[in-house]
């Protein structure tokens, strides 16, 4: 009994010494007032309908792993939820979703800066590593960097796919938000979600701690939701940059070095490995 009381007292003392606890105690009246106010505003203005997606999600996986399938499924879910209140810009054909074909990056520069009937924009780029090697996309407009750094403010959400994360241009990798590692087993699709910064700084995904993961069942409608043949037909070999230029842009000339110390959230396996060092 005495031990339990001692543990309770120690816990209370620790909590009282915590700055967060101190902040909460001194603002209980504000917490009560603003909780009611924010909940009221949330339902009155129907903020649950607001488009709150932003950043760059990259779906990675080899042929047949379901990366484009997962991307198209996410696009379908977004369209079902938000309907025509959001616009889609895509370099692949989307079936059942109104979209504008993506021809070059200049189309994206002014997104979110002008009055629009849309509350947000979803940009879909299949095979981003190949796209960035295409002459139409090989030069980043300086204004585009501003867009990519203000995606939340401009309500722009970009989804792209690549066979390997490190095959993508190093500038694009540096501004990616999340990496979704895709694997498909029959009609069961699995996606492991990682922080892109951690993924960039460790060459072995097994050393990383995933943020989350999803499973979903693939119906025929999911297979029929997109068509990549149009994108492939338009890409002639003469329109791609040289191998030397592509290697420099991807940052492969310096080689890959596994920097486990730079990983923000290492897995248990990584922690054991670092302790042995």
Whether residue 61 is found in the same domain as residue 136: yes
Helices assigned H by DSSP within the chain: 2-17, 19-25, 28-44, 67-82, 128-131, 142-149, 151-154, 170-174, 196-200, 220-223, 229-234, 243-250, 268-276
Residue range 184-227, pLDDT digits in tens:
999 999 999 999 988 888 766 677 888 999 999 999 999 999 98
Q: Which 3 state secondary structure label does DSSP give 235? A: coil
Residue pointed to by tokens 């895509």: 90
65 shares a domain with 35: no
- Same domain? 246 vs 191: yes
Question: What's the structural domain count of the chain?
Answer: 2
> Is 40 in the same domain as 149?
no
Q: Percentage of the chain with pLDDT > 70?
A: 72
Do 79 and 175 lie in one domain? The reply is yes
Give which of 175, 163, 211, 162 is closest to 55, Cα–Cα: 175
Which is more confidently placed, 70 or 198? Answer: 70
Q: Which segment of 29-38, 55-64, 186-195, 235-244 scores lowest on mean pLDDT?
A: 235-244
Q: Helices H, strands E: what count in the chain?
A: 13, 10
Do both 68 and 174 map to the same domain?
yes
Q: Assign 89 a pLDDT band (cuts: 50, 70, 90).
A: very high
259 in Cβ contact with 202 (< 8 Å): yes
Is the residue at 274 inside a domain?
no
* Amino acid 240: pLDDT: 41
Do 147 and 205 fall within a single domain?
Answer: yes
Asked if 26 and 142 sit in the same domain, the reply is no
Share of the chain above pLDDT 90, in %: 37
Say if residue 33 is in the same domain as residue 106.
no
Q: For residue 217, how far is the Cα from the chain centroid? A: 21
Same domain (yes/no): 133, 29: no
Q: Provide the domain limits for residue 37.
A: 2-47
Sheet hosting strand 100-101, strand order edge to edge? 100-101, 86-90, 120-125, 156-162, 55-60, 178-185, 188-195, 212-217
Q: Classify residue 176 as exposed, middle or buried by CB count within 10 Å of its CB (0-12, 13-18, 19+).
A: buried
Higher pLDDT, residue 103 or 74:
74
On whether both 58 and 40 belong to a single domain, the answer is no
């Amino acid at each position: 009994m005495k031990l339990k009381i001692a543990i309770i007292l120690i816990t209370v003392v620790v909590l009282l010494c915590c700055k967060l606890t101190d902040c909460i105690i001194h603002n209980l009246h504000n917490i009560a007032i603003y909780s009611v106010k924010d909940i009221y505003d949330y339902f009155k203005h129907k903020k649950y309908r607001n488009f709150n997606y932003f950043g760059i999600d990259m779906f990675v996986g080899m042929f047949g792993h379901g990366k484009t399938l997962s991307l198209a499924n996410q696009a379908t879910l977004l369209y079902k939820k938000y309907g025509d209140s959001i616009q889609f810009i895509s370099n692949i054909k989307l079936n059942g979703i109104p979209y504008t074909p993506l021809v070059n990056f200049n189309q994206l520069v002014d997104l979110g800066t002008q009055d629009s009937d849309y509350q947000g924009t979803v940009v879909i780029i299949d095979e981003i590593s190949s796209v960035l090697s295409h002459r139409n996309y090989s030069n980043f407009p300086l204004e585009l960097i501003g867009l990519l750094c203000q995606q939340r403010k401009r309500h722009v959400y970009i989804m792209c796919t690549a066979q390997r994360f490190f095959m993508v241009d190093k500038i694009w990798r540096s501004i990616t938000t999340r990496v979704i590692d895709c694997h498909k087993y029959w009609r069961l699709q699995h996606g492991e979600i990682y922080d892109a910064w951690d993924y960039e700084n460790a060459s072995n995904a097994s050393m990383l701690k995933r943020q989350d993961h999803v499973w979903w069942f693939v119906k025929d409608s999911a297979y029929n939701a997109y068509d990549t043949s149009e994108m492939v037909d338009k890409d002639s070999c003469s329109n791609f940059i040289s191998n030397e230029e592509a290697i420099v842009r991807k940052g492969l000339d310096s080689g890959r070095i596994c920097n486990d110390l730079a990983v923000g959230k290492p897995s248990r396996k990584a922690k054991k490995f670092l302790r042995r060092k």
